[in-house]
A = this chain, B = another copy of it.
């Protein structure tokens, strides 16, 4: 017999009402989660979309986002005060972090610290999909100006890699 009494659950113990405890995934989509364009406008990114899987709450003010870049695509070259923690969960590619370009593949973890230039590219003929954790409260990204692009281009490996 199922009792009327309940142990504390998300619904009663937390302010995140209506948020399910489990979001099932199917082929890199998640129940109840919409697929969005990466950004509203711009020509500084290519063939990328995003899903916000969970927005944080309670003591954990972070978001779980999933980004997927089609072969040949890339994210915006940008930097910001807030930190990214990323885990690759599909495919492979390369990432620029600071002045280093690194090959990345399944389950590699990338940490992008404050004010660090970064760009993800699906360079290897397959998709590059990654979970990205960020603070809910975060600043807007900055794109490089002409003098910053010039500075980035001083490292040949970076000059060859970046798409602005």
Binding site for B on A (CB under 8 A): 1-3, 5-11, 13-14, 16, 19-25, 28, 30, 53-54, 56-60, 62, 64, 79, 81-85, 87, 89, 95, 97-100, 102, 104-117, 131, 133-135, 138, 148, 151-152, 154-156
Contact = CB atoms under 8 A, between A and B. Distances in A.
30 contacts: A3-B154, A3-B155, A6-B99, A8-B98, A8-B115, A9-B98, A9-B113, A10-B112, A11-B98, A14-B113, A14-B116, A21-B98, A21-B100, A21-B112, A21-B116, A22-B97, A22-B104, A22-B108, A22-B110, A25-B105, A25-B106, A54-B111, A56-B85, A58-B83, A59-B138, A60-B84, A60-B134, A60-B135, A64-B133, A89-B89
A59 B87 contact: no
Nearest to A6: B99
